[in-house]
Amino acid sequence: MKRIVLLFVISLVSFVLSGCNNSNTTISMMSYELDEYEVNNYSDASMIILDDSMTNIGLTLEFNYYGDDEGTTGTWYTIFIYEGNEWNELSYIIDGNVAWNLIAYIVEKNHGSQMSINWEWLYGELSAGRYLILKQFTNYRGPGELDNYYLASEFTIE
């Protein structure tokens, strides 16, 4: 129980420190130029899209962690579209602010963890195009010792 509470507190602190910014199917962790985010610069974790999971309203991600400590991710994500030779963050279809559940999902070392995402409520159905999904990943080493990274994967809707 203490571990769950600790992970909740760590996620809450990470969320507050990283702000409420809104944030691919490639197995390689390609680098992307995104104005607000350094992407795929953490070699101890990877995120891929399961090929058979893709629809225009969602997908399933698989996270892998290779570090010595503990990896976590949360519910927050953002989607970009490739337009005019650059990545542009998609706008929400809902009015007002968006609230994210502050849950820390543990990604065990050397064991794939899957997460299904349905963005219909936030972005609607995506039209044909080239997209990028971005998620935050945390390397948790102990109380007060954590680093946040951003992982991205590209995908295409036809």
Q: Mapping DSSP to helix (H, G, I), strand (E, B) and coil, where does residue 109 land?
A: strand
Q: Minimal CA–CA distance to 39: which of 155, 154, 146?
A: 154
Query: What percent of the chain is modeled with pLDDT above 90?
Result: 65
pLDDT greater than 70 at residue 155: yes
Q: Minimal CA–CA distance to 79: which of 6, 32, 135, 23?
A: 23
Q: Which fold has domain 2-157?
A: Immunoglobulin-like (2.60.40)
Confidence category of residue 1, pLDDT binned at 50, 70, 90: very low
The encoded tokens of residue 52 equal 């058979």
| Segment 39-78, tens digit of pLDDT | 998 999 999 999 899 999 999 999 999 998 889 999 999 9
> Which residues face 20 on adjacent strands?
none
pTM of the model: 0.78
Vertex 91 angle, CA 46 and 123, to 5°: 70
